[in-house]
Amino acid sequence: MLHGYGQLAAEFIRFFADLASDDSMVVAPEGMNRFYTVSADVAPARDRPVGATWMTREDRESEVADYVEYLDSVFDDVAAGTPPGRVDVIGFSQGAATAARWVAHGRIPATRLFLWGGLVPPDADLARGPHAFRGVPVTFVLGSRDHYVSEAALNDDVARLARAGITASVLRFDGGHAVSRSVFPRLAAV
């Protein structure tokens, strides 16, 4: 579970706690870059909320390479000593782009890729066609009132993936740019 811009993993994972069981594990790494989410004129440092981000435009390629390596390392540590099983990668908002890049460029043995409230990043190399995501099915999860992902942008992304030979499905829910627990039972059916 990869959080969105300005979120912290400890808070983000609470949305998904219901999915953990004796047979499944929920892991939410945190972006390596933390920052104050409000300016100094709003509150003193001790009172300002802190968020995390996966990357910024500054030294972008190095940031992406660093977080792919970091996420591979987290997976290796968590998976050590556990039997192989289904590995669903879910990214929300900025975490959706992060998840897409990780599945495309990392070592994660993903079974399914869910891009929740986000799209495949424009810099993703789809030239390898269906192998761009190593054959991992892509599902967009979108709220009906998501103000960050328009219908036109979604259609463009689905068409872009189709041109590369990658089939994508879309799972919709009534809501905005947010994680909705009402979708969880439908994730298993995808």
- In terms of residue numbers, what domain contains 181? 9-187
Q: Is residue 19 part of a domain?
A: yes
SS3 53: strand
Task: Report pLDDT for 143.
Answer: 96
Question: 10: part of which helix (H) or strand (E)?
Answer: helix 9-12
Q: What is the mean pLDDT of the chain?
A: 91
Q: Is residue 3 part of a domain?
A: no
SS3 116: strand
Question: What total number of domains does the chain contain?
Answer: 1
How far apart CA 138 and CA 154 sit, in angstroms, is 13
Residue 173 gets which letter from DSSP?
A: E
pTM of the model: 0.92
Task: Report pLDDT for 96.
Answer: 97
Q: Is residue 97 part of a domain?
A: yes
List, for residues 4-41, the tens digit of each pLDDT value.
999 999 999 998 888 888 888 899 999 999 988 888 88
How far apart CA 140 and CA 21 sit, in angstroms, is 24
Task: Report pLDDT for 130.
Answer: 72
How far apart CA 93 and CA 143 sit, in angstroms, is 12
Task: Report pLDDT for 72.
Answer: 96
Q: Is residue 23 part of a domain?
A: yes
List, for residues 35-69, the tens digit of each pLDDT value.
888 888 888 888 899 999 999 889 999 999 999 99
Q: Is residue 145 part of a domain?
A: yes
146: domain CATH number is 3.40.50.1820
Q: Is residue 1 part of a domain?
A: no
List, for residues 126-138, the tens digit of each pLDDT value.
877 777 887 888 9
Is the pLDDT confidence value at 83 over 80? no
